[in-house]
Amino acid sequence: MACDQPRAGDYDGRGNLSETALVQFTRFFLEVCLDQVNFMEELVQPGKLRGRILRWVEEESARDRLLANAGRVLEAALYRGELARSEVPSLLGVGDRQSRRVVSALIDRGVLKSKSDRAPLQLAFPATLASSWMPGLFPDKPGK
Residue range 2-52, pLDDT digits in tens: 656 666 666 565 666 677 778 888 999 999 999 999 998 888 888 888 999
Query: 102 and 60, same structural domain?
Result: yes
Would you tell me how many other CB atoms lie within 10 Å of the CB of residue 92?
A: 18
Q: Is residue 78 part of a domain?
A: yes
Q: Is the pLDDT of residue 111 over 80?
A: yes
Q: Kindly report, residue by residue over 82-108, the tens digit of the pLDDT.
A: 999 999 999 999 999 999 999 999 999
Q: How far apart are CA 103 and CA 69, in angstroms?
A: 11
Q: Is residue 143 part of a domain?
A: no
Query: 40 and 87, same structural domain?
Result: no
Beta-carbon-side half-sphere exposure of residue 125 (alpha carbons within 13 Å): 13
Domain count, the chain: 2
- The four Cα atoms 103, 108, 114, 115 give a dihedral, to 10 degrees, of 140
Query: 53 and 20, same structural domain?
Result: no
Furthest C-alpha separation in the chain = 74
Q: Give this prediction's pTM.
A: 0.70
Residue 88: which CATH number?
1.10.10.10
Q: How far apart are CA 105 and CA 10, in angstroms?
A: 68
Residue 50, SS3?
A: helix
Beta-carbon-side half-sphere exposure of residue 86 (alpha carbons within 13 Å): 2
Q: Whole domain around residue 87: which residue ranges?
A: 46-131
Pairing of strands 122-123, 112-113: antiparallel
- For residue 132, the model assigns a pLDDT of 86
- For residue 45, the model assigns a pLDDT of 84
